[in-house]
């Protein structure tokens, strides 16, 4: 579905990704773990085209999309839920969802309301409420729902459990599993919480200083050593 090949990315003089490679398989959740500051968010931004790769390639569905910006990547079928969610607090839940249409290949298709509200019933109840009045967990659900409005085939998710209580995180995990199983959605997740990662992930990459240093399937992963690495 997605191949990242030897990508180098930097902010000005400061190189963050030093030849990073990874593969996201279709209809599965691939999770990148690693300590704070190793470049996980930078990797997602580079895939989404917020940052342009200086070297290397991003290939999506056999097409080289390295040079596309965020709008082009969205049209190609990639959606991005940034860390911190970026809900517009003064807009209602429904208006926040409408923003997701901006990224849709065909805006006339409208918001897939039935599907969104089936997955996230709370958003139906709160659709007239200001986004800023939702709890952290509800805002995270809104951010994911907004990303789904463009009907993507690949979802990039940056630390969706940050600052939300474990029971809501688990609920979000169930929704992700549903999206993968029912719709064949592919997910690239950046996550620090091992419990959540274990609930949803099929494949893992472990990142350190801008490079992948270990990867494998859920069955192959040594979680005890992963936890030690992340904790240090």
Ligand X SMILES: Nc1ncnc2c1ncn2[C@@H]1O[C@H](COP(=O)(O)OP(=O)(O)OP(=O)(O)O)[C@@H](O)[C@H]1O
Interface with ligand X (CB under 6 A): 11, 14, 16, 34, 36-42, 83
As measured in angstroms, the least distance from the Cβ of 169 to ligand X is 16
Residues 6+ apart with CB under 8 A from 58: 2, 3, 4, 5, 7, 46, 47, 64, 65, 66
Give the number of other Cβ atoms within 10 Å of residue 165's Cβ.
Answer: 12
CB closer to ligand X, 40 vs 73: 40
CB closer to ligand X, 17 vs 116: 17
Tokens coding 42: 């930078």
Tokens coding 185: 């959605």
Between the CA of residue 183 and those of 148, 158, 175, 187, what are the distances in Å?
Answer: 11, 21, 11, 12
Give the number of other Cβ atoms within 10 Å of residue 36's Cβ.
Answer: 8
CB closer to ligand X, 45 vs 146: 45
As measured in angstroms, the least distance from the Cβ of 42 to ligand X is 3
Q: How far apart are CA 171 and CA 175, in angstroms?
A: 6
CB closer to ligand X, 47 vs 65: 47
As measured in angstroms, the least distance from the Cβ of 156 to ligand X is 12
As measured in angstroms, the least distance from the Cβ of 47 to ligand X is 12
- Closest listed residue to residue 2, CA positions, set 44, 54, 33, 38: 44
As measured in angstroms, the least distance from the Cβ of 13 to ligand X is 10
CB closer to ligand X, 50 vs 101: 50
């Amino acid at each position: 579905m997605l191949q990242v090949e030897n990508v180098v990315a930097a902010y000005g003089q400061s190189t963050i990704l030093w030849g990073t490679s990874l593969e996201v398989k279709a209809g599965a959740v691939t999770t990148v773990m690693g300590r704070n500051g190793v470049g996980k968010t930078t990797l997602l931004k580079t895939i989404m085209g917020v940052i342009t790769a200086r070297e290397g390639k991003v290939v999506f569905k056999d097409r080289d999309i390295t040079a596309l910006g965020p709008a082009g990547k969205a049209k190609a079928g990639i959606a991005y839920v940034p860390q911190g969610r970026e809900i517009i607090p003064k807009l209602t839940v429904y208006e926040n969802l409408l923003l997701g249409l901006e990224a849709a290949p065909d805006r006339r298709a409208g918001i897939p309301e039935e599907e969104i509200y089936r997955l996230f019933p709370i958003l139906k109840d709160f659709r007239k409420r200001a986004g800023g009045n939702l709890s952290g967990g509800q805002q995270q659900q809104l951010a994911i729902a907004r990303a789904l409005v463009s009907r993507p085939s690949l979802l990039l998710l940056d630390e969706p459990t940050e600052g939300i209580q474990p029971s809501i995180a688990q609920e979000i995990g169930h929704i992700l599993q549903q999206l993968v199983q029912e719709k064949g959605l592919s997910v690239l997740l950046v996550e620090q919480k091992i419990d959540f990662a274990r609930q949803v992930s099929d494949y893992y990459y472990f990142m350190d200083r801008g490079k992948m240093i270990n990867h494998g399937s859920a069955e192959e992963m040594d979680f005890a050593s992963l936890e030690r690495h992340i904790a240090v």
